[in-house]
Amino acid sequence: MRAALLLFLAPVLLSACATAAAQSPGPQIAAPTTQELIAQYQADRGSLGRLWSFPFSTVGLERKQRLQQDWLDQLEGLDYGALDARAQIDWHLLRNMIEHDLESSNLQHQRDLKAAYLVPFVPPLVAVLEAKSRREEVDPREMAEVLTAALEAIKETRTKFEEEKLELSAPEAQRVSSQLNRLRRSLQSWVTYRDGYDPVFTWWCSEPWSDLSKALDSYSKFISKDLGGIDPNDQDRLIGNPIGREALLAELAFERIAYTPEELLEIAQSEFEWCMNERKKAANEMGSDGDWRAAQEAVKKAHPEPGGQPTMIHFLAEEAIKFLEDRDLMTIPELAKESWRMQMMTPERQKFSPYFTGGEVISISYPTDTMSHEAKLMTMRGNNYHYSRATVQHELIPGHHLQGYMADRWAPHRQAFYTPFLVEGWALYWEMRLWDLGFPTTPEDKIGMLFWRTHRCARIMFSLNFHLGNWTPEECVDFLVENVGHERRNATAEVRRSIQGGYGPLYQAAYMLGGLQILSLHRDLVEGAGWGERDFHDAILRENSIPVEYVRAALKRTSLPKDNPPTWRFYH
């Protein structure tokens, strides 16, 4: 009877519950803000990046591309006109990032297709990892057969290439070798996941994997050394991968730069000529009869003795802060002045960074007792007092340390859009601005500042010419030695940093070009619209590390159209 009554009442009770739910206010979930969308995309990208972390996977690349396209569709579906000006900038920043990620996925896919003939044994191994990403169970005996077949395929492929006497370019060989090493590490993780925990898996796969792991390592070295001619014992060789003009244009569009590589080279040449004229003037003041090389050699002798570099940097940092505060150029929080630190750079890292680098921690590049006598002298000469006076403020205040301090506190969601055109451009802007304000008081100081300013021009010239295929790495080094005045060891480290140090293809060009963008904005707002120096500089730091074109839109309160290709011609 009770059961029958419940069956009879069930529709009534469900209807009553539905009515009550409809009448209940409940939580009202608002549409996500642009800041939340930025965080969500980063989280989504990170999730898939960790799931499909191994190379050569078409399935993984396609899954990432679906995510990127879904996000582009979602952004397109937003009511752009209903967003306020700040949210519109965030919308553009996010769309720009996703489009760049999608383009990078396509580029990686093309590279994998191009390298496929070098690694014909890879697809079955990648399929094993793809199955693990889908949490599929595998048959240990079948897996042992896959591993054994791959081992035999590697032997056949190697023999084939040896008979053909195949040769690869060093950059291509290095890239494929690196991908194979990543694949081997991913497969090792796959084996570790089951080995010892699953007795049947261990029985079937342990020995085949041991043999295959050694073969993959050996084949990777074969690709690198035998086919690519890369001597593993030659740690000083310069190997880079020129990306070509079309890829440079795509990177420039991503960075919101409305110039071609050729136009940027013309800008660099114009700035370079200004630097050379000023160097001759400073050399005259030093009594070197316009010989900037002789003047620079004299300046290089004014370096601290071993162990004296930290004291010098501390003094120069305080000097720069006082210069800024005496002229009320910007707000410098007391904690920012208090919280920067110093550490010594390792000899190995100095192969990539021959000069000190900065941020909250300034890494001091100076000789250690393990260096050769020649290397010690080059490092000391390259980190002399006048060169360092020109760049301590670049690394600390008002440069990178203050930038990072403010970026952690103002619009921190925008740190995802880090661009060297703002980060390095801001620090380089201050090198140029301080010159105009009379920071260098002696001709020796001018030679120091001009060394770096000339180098920023040269970075545009050698990096773009390298990626356009016009210059070899060795020609880039020669250019820095002959036209900027670098010690050869330091010039080699600068080029190595540019082409194989993990930097983007436009990173080196971004210093001077970003600085010129901010100078142009200074002309518009401070000189043209009457902004105060402090207000102008504080406002830039509060927009975080986004492309300067978007900083310009924010400060000028420009309404951005939804379709907004880069058009700003900032160089005068």
φ, ψ for residue 257 (rounded to 5)?
-110, 115
Average pLDDT value over all residues in the chain: 90
Measure the N-to-C terminal CA separation of the chain; round to a whole number of Å: 92
Burial of 160 (0-12, 13-18, 19+ CB in 10 A): exposed
Asked if residue 215 lies in contact with residue 209, where contact means CB atoms within 8 angstroms, the answer is no
The predicted pLDDT at position 366 comes to 66
- The answer on pLDDT for 10 being more than 70 is no
Cis peptide bond N-terminal to 208, omega within 30: no
The predicted pLDDT at position 24 comes to 54
The predicted pLDDT at position 13 comes to 43
Calculate mean pLDDT across residues 154-160.
97
- CA dist 91 and 32 (Å) reads 12
Lowest mean pLDDT among 12-21, 291-300, 481-490, 491-500: 12-21
Q: So where are the chain's domains? A: 34-115, 119-227, 248-555
User: What is the per-residue pLDDT across 462-477, written as a single tens digit (0 to 9) for each?
Assistant: 999 999 999 999 999 9
Residues 6 or more apart whose Cβ sits within 8 Å of residue 447: 279, 282, 283, 286, 292, 295, 296, 299, 386
Determine how many CB atoms are found less than 10 A away from the CB of residue 281: 13
Measured CA to CA in angstroms, residue 287 lies from 280, 283, 302, 439, 552 at distances of 11, 6, 17, 21, 43
Q: How confident is the model at residue 233 (pLDDT cuts 50, 70, 90)?
A: confident
User: What is the per-residue pLDDT across 354-371, written as a single tens digit (0 to 9) for each?
Assistant: 666 778 888 776 666 677
The predicted pLDDT at position 61 comes to 96
Instruction: Classify 322 in phi/psi space as left (phi over 0), alpha (psi -120 to 50) or beta.
Output: alpha
Residue with tokens 């010098």: 312
Q: Which residues of 38-68 are buried (b: 16+ CB within 10 A; e: fewer)?
A: beebeeebeebeeebebbbbeebbebbeebb
- CA dist 331 and 566 (Å) reads 31
The encoded tokens of residue 119 equal 């690694």
What pTM value is reported for the model? 0.88
Determine how many CB atoms are found less than 10 A away from the CB of residue 246: 8
The predicted pLDDT at position 17 comes to 47
- CA dist 61 and 51 (Å) reads 11
The predicted pLDDT at position 4 comes to 47
Tell me how many degrees the CA angle 425-249-254 measures, rounded to the nearest 5: 55
The predicted pLDDT at position 1 comes to 46
User: What is the per-residue pLDDT across 16-51, written as a single tens digit (0 to 9) for each?
Assistant: 444 444 455 666 677 789 999 999 999 999 999 999
The predicted pLDDT at position 499 comes to 86
